């Protein structure tokens, strides 16, 4: 009895890691998956208290935050209520839900999911593209509705091989998409914040110019103030009537209203979309289009990648609570691949 009381007390003394919203797909592995004997989680979403009150009540014990896609943003206001926080770790690659500048100002370290999901996301991007070009989902629907027997052949799709692919954001994921599409004999060019010195693919400084010289745009960049609505009517018109857009980045990188208009008016040929501006809401017009393939923000990972995610997230938290550097594996990738998120991570963890 005394032992269990001691154990309970020890747990109460553990530093707390705040979670604002359940981690996506946590049901695949169970809540205990990220457990450790170095910290305990504090789940704000289980409390009946209003968030601000909850945070103020627990603020002295909250030393870190675990965030994820779709979780409430980690804003300057939230951080202001949590002066003891020294680390924000995310299960996502994207860090758009975290106020990075405020973290830097407060000396808070930030760690994302690094390259763990790059292969999964890249596979999915290629899958979406093949689906749009070769009408896989659309012809599946045709067969299921019994239309093959009554209406005859379904229109043929377009060949992937030989297509000119424009990668927007040549980070880890962009590279993985490019490598896969090279194997399909596509030609690759890219737009990024800066030309990559060791990359031989043609670089376009303007995304509009890239679009004008490509058949397909694959959006792989981060959502930032600079990339918000970067893909607009002008870019889509430059892509042209035969052009296809694939988005596995973030919905708001595309001006969704203008993209829908372009699709309705046949100003581009099709789209493969895993992300949307106001998830889980998807513009209704898209539902009726068989040149558009839709998925519910699932490109990101597979159950197989969860194990690596656990090692990285728990490893980063344990390292932080043991006053050790965040996982070195992570930094190595950062420097080698110069993905923009990683560069930020290096910046934030080395200041």
Cβ(257)–Cβ(285) below 8 Å = no
Neighbours of 66 (CB within 10 A): 25
Cα 239 → chain centroid: 24
Is residue 228 part of the annotated active site? The answer reads no
Find the binder of ligand O=CC(=O)O among 94, 251, 270, 283 (CB under 6 A): 94
Burial of residue 47 (CB within 10 Å: 0-12, 13-18, 19+) is middle
Is residue 31 part of the annotated active site? The answer reads no
Question: Site mask, ligand O=CC(=O)O, residues 114-143, x = CB under 6 A?
Answer: ---x--------------------------
Query: Catalytic: which of 58, 180, 222, 250?
Result: 250
Nearer to ligand O=CC(=O)O, 66 or 69 (CB): 69
CA atoms within 13 A on the CB side of 112: 27
Is residue 84 part of the annotated active site? The answer reads no
Query: Catalytic: which of 134, 297, 310, 318?
Result: 297
Q: Which stretch binds ligand O=CC(=O)O (CB under 6 A): 92-100, 123-131, 172-180, 213-221?
A: 92-100
Minimum Å gap between C-beta 8 and ligand O=CC(=O)O is 35
Minimum Å gap between C-beta 226 and ligand O=CC(=O)O is 17
Query: Catalytic: which of 102, 209, 279, 318?
Result: 279
Question: How far is CA 281 from each of CA 1, 18, 82, rounded to the nearest angstrom?
Answer: 51, 27, 32
The strand pair at 244-247 and 216-219 is best described as parallel
Find the binder of ligand O=CC(=O)O among 65, 133, 246, 300 (CB under 6 A): 300
Find the binder of ligand O=CC(=O)O among 69, 122, 168, 293 (CB under 6 A): 69
Q: Any bridge partners for residue 110, and if so which? A: 88
Q: Which stretch binds ligand O=CC(=O)O (CB under 6 A): 46-54, 89-97, 126-134, 191-199?
A: 89-97
Number of residues that bind ligand O=CC(=O)O (CB under 6 A): 7
Helix/strand/coil (H, E, C) string of 270-283?
A: EEEECCCCECCECC
Backbone φ and ψ for 294, nearest 5 degrees, come out as -120, 140
Q: Which residues of 110-122 are buried (b: 16+ CB within 10 A; e: fewer)?
A: bbbbbbbbbbbbb
312 lines the binding site for ligand O=CC(=O)O (CB under 6 A): no
Q: Any bridge partners for residue 167, and if so which? A: 190, 218
Tokens of 138: 């659309």
Q: Using CB under 6 A as the criterion, which residues of the chain lie in contact with ligand O=CC(=O)O when the complex forms? A: 69, 92-94, 113, 117, 300
Catalogue the active-site residues: 250, 279, 297
């Amino acid at each position: 009895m005394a032992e269990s009381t001691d154990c309970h007390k020890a747990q109460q003394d553990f530093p707390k890691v705040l979670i604002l919203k359940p981690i996506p797909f946590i049901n695949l592995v169970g809540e205990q998956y990220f457990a450790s004997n170095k910290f305990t989680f504090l789940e704000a979403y289980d409390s009946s208290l209003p968030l601000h009150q909850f945070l103020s009540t627990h603020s002295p014990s909250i030393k870190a935050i675990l965030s994820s896609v779709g979780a409430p943003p980690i804003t300057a206001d939230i951080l202001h209520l949590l002066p003891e926080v020294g680390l924000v770790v995310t299960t996502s690659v994207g860090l758009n839900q975290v106020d990075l500048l405020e973290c830097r100002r407060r000396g808070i370290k930030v760690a994302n999911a690094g390259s763990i999901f790059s292969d999964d996301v890249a596979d999915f991007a290629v899958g979406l593209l093949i689906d749009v070009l070769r009408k896989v989902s659309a012809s599946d629907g045709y067969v299921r509705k019994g239309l093959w027997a009554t209406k005859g052949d379904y229109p043929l799709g377009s060949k992937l091989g030989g297509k000119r692919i424009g990668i927007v954001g040549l980070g880890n994921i962009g590279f993985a998409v490019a490598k896969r599409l090279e194997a399909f004999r596509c030609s690759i060019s890219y737009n990024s914040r800066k030309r990559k010195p060791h990359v031989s693919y043609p670089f376009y400084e303007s995304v509009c110019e890239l679009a004008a010289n490509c058949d397909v745009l694959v959006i792989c960049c981060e959502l930032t103030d600079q990339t918000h609505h970067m893909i607009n009517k002008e870019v889509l018109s430059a892509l042209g009537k035969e052009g296809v857009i694939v988005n596995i980045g973030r919905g708001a990188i595309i001006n969704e209203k203008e993209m829908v208009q372009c699709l309705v008016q046949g100003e581009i040929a099709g789209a493969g979309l895993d992300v949307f501006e106001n998830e889980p809401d998807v513009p209704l017009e898209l539902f009726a289009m068989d040149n558009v393939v839709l998925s519910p923000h699932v490109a990101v990972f597979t159950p197989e990648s969860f194990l690596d995610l656990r090692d990285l997230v728990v490893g980063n938290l344990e390292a932080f609570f043991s006053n050790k550097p965040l996982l070195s594996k992570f930094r190595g990738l950062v420097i080698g691949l110069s993905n923009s998120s990683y560069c930020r991570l290096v910046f934030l963890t080395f200041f």
